[in-house]
Copies of this chain bind each other. A is one copy, B any other.
Amino acid sequence: MIDKTVASVEEAVAGIRDGSTVMIGGFGRAGQPVELIDALIAQGATDLTVVNNNAGNGDVGLAALLAKKRVRRILCSFPRQHDSWVFDELYRAGEIELELVPQGNLAERIRAAGAGVGAFFSPTGVGTQLAEGKEERVIDGRTYVLEYPIKADVALISARQGDRWGNLVYRETARNFGPIMAAAATTTIVQVDEIVPLGSLEPETIVTPGIFVDRVVAVGERAWTRGGDFVGGVDIEGRPLADATASREGDQ
């Protein structure tokens, strides 16, 4: 029997080696594998290269991983946010390398890695600083730059449900980088709200087939759903609204 489920986030992140390239899913709070990132911090792997759309917010999750100096290099499209002080400080101190990649090139380069494409010509970034030194080519009258795949040793992603074969479905815009990162990494580790019996997921609607997935761990339902249905009652970061806050918002 194939069983990719594991019992705990500790087991899920076991064996991630120092020096690994680690993709981390999510765009904002949506699809961020919060529990897996915390487990990676506890696990201790260091000298990492991280691929993520951002470079961490506040003091938790990816920002906490950065604060512990576990990350040597980061590839992302948007490291500068109002609360990205951890990255900002490391960057200014020269303690972290940054490869800034336009978001669409980031996505397509990750997709290329999973799909076995050796390199591709992209129209994005042509004539800008971010294409400096890259090979250019005019094809059919339009200028493109050559972009290479981004592969990873490990992907940490979040999905709504998974089964023991590793088949996954996502929720709304939390899908974002999950499916392409799952395919681009040697070992793909997924946290799901819920593990469902094999056969529960409709074959037409599976977004990530299990072939791309190595380990699945259930971390429980998000605060804003109950029994799979959206119930709200949280802020954009997923924090339950205090009663006071809720009534203030209600007044606006």
Contact = CB atoms under 8 A, between A and B. Distances in A.
A51 B120 CA distance: 22
B144 A139 contact: no
Contacts of A123: 116, 118
A100 to B, nearest CB: 21
A185 B100 CA distance: 33
Contacts of A193: none
Interface residues of A, number: 26
Nearest to A145: B118
Contact of A121 (B117, B137, B207): B117
Given A118-B123, A118-B139, A121-B117, A204 B148 contact: no
Interface string A130-158: 00000001011010100010000000000
A249 B193 CA distance: 46
A205 B137 CA distance: 37
Contact of A115 (B108, B118, B142, B144): B108
Contacts of A172: 203-204
Interface of A: 108, 112, 115-123, 137, 139-140, 142, 144, 148, 169-172, 202-205, 207
28 contacts: A108-B115, A112-B120, A116-B122, A116-B123, A117-B120, A117-B121, A117-B122, A118-B120, A118-B121, A118-B122, A118-B123, A118-B137, A118-B140, A118-B142, A118-B144, A119-B120, A119-B137, A119-B139, A119-B144, A120-B120, A120-B121, A139-B148, A169-B204, A171-B204, A172-B203, A172-B204, A202-B205, A205-B205
Instruction: For the complex of A and B, list the 10 residue pairs with the smallest distance between their C-beta atoms, beginning with the closest.
Output: A118-B121, A118-B144, A120-B120, A205-B205, A118-B139, A119-B121, A117-B120, A119-B139, A116-B123, A118-B123
